[in-house]
Homo-oligomer: A and B are copies of this chain.
Amino acid sequence: MKTRAPLVDCDVHNRFHPTRLADYLPDRWRRWYQDLGTRPNTSAGFTRPRAHASITNSWPAGGFPGSDRDFMTEQLLDRWHHTYAILNPIDQANFASQPGDYAAALDRATNEWVAAEWLDPEPRYRGAISIPFEDADLAVAEIERWAGDQRFVHLLVNTVSRAPFGNRRYWPIYEAASHFDLPVAIHVAGNSGHPKSSAGWPSSYFEDHSGYVVAFLDHVISIVSEGVFDRYPTLKVVLMEGGFGWMPSLMWRLDRSYNLLRETLPPLERKPSEYCRSHFWFTTQPIEEPQRPQDLMNVIRWLDMDDRYLFATDYPHWDFDAPDRAIPADVPAHLRRGIFYANALALYKRLPALPGGEL
């Protein structure tokens, strides 16, 4: 008799019902929120192909996709037999560039809401700690507040930021992440005010979406070249929703440039590609889909990072990857096992061991 394989979904998006965020804010910030709201997510400020970029049948009664726990549990966890689903709240992307105290209050409200309304009632959900990452001191305080709750499995920050993530303004966050052994997940989104590249603002959602990889390149270059991994040698970074097909040529370029320009950098103990292989993970949605499936396997062989791919549906977004169709048929069994659960269980030590002891 065939038993069902475990499934760990590393990128699921819940969001507040329109009125619920205010319930979790202290008086001062509740008034601010009700008067001023939050700034828009500029990585997604363009016309969306479908309302809120969500699959059409993901709308619960009276709310936005992702806002109704029971609806999501049934549509996602029950339907696809999830073992765990890691929640990366959508609203969080609009918080980091707010004034620091306000950002901190919004993130704290988010974490309290996740704990009370998602993790308490349904143990298959796991949390991300939303942090006001543009103010490292406030971010560290929020990390310390939640790190003891083992149901929160990583820190959540966004690609659209004030500076590339190797910048020392973010180092206290890495200090705390290392101390509590919490991976840092960088997810597409945010509102730093910077356009997507030095080429300025795109015209369409297609352009925006096709170019999500761009900021990931800059963050990887920065984190590696500023020496973050020498300073925090156990730090783990998860790149969410950017694919990985761009990574081989970036690693070649970094190693070549490093050979030529190392005198201009802080001293690094290893060459850039070695840091990349040791410290980065990737979620699979949206996985590259070359015309010839073997080309994806070529990329995977090049990268030599077989234990670094983490399955993600990106529910409830329009480009949702169904577990039965997300990973191309050419991907061999040992890789599939890693992608669907083993890699996540190895990375996220806070996830409880599986009932059957599988890994």
Contact = CB atoms under 8 A, between A and B. Distances in A.
List the number of copies, as a whole number. 2
A162 interface: yes
Interface string A248-263: 1110111111101101
A70 interface: no
Interface in A33-88: 42-43, 47, 49
Nearest to A259: B289
Contacts of A172: none
A291 B261 contact: no
Interface in A305-333: 318-319
A165 B243 CA distance: 24
A257 B256 CA distance: 31
Interface residues of A, number: 72
A338 interface: no
Q: Sort A-B residue pairs by CB-CB distance and give the 6 closest, nearest first.
A: A245-B249, A160-B198, A199-B218, A197-B218, A164-B199, A163-B200
Given A195-B195, A195-B198, A205-B261, 10 more contacts: A165-B199, A197-B214, A199-B222, A205-B264, A206-B225, A213-B250, A245-B249, A255-B291, A260-B318, A273-B291
Interface of A: 42-43, 47, 49, 159-167, 190, 192, 194-207, 209-211, 213-215, 217-219, 221-222, 225-226, 243, 245-246, 248-250, 252-258, 260-261, 263-265, 273, 286, 288-291, 295, 298-299, 302, 318-319
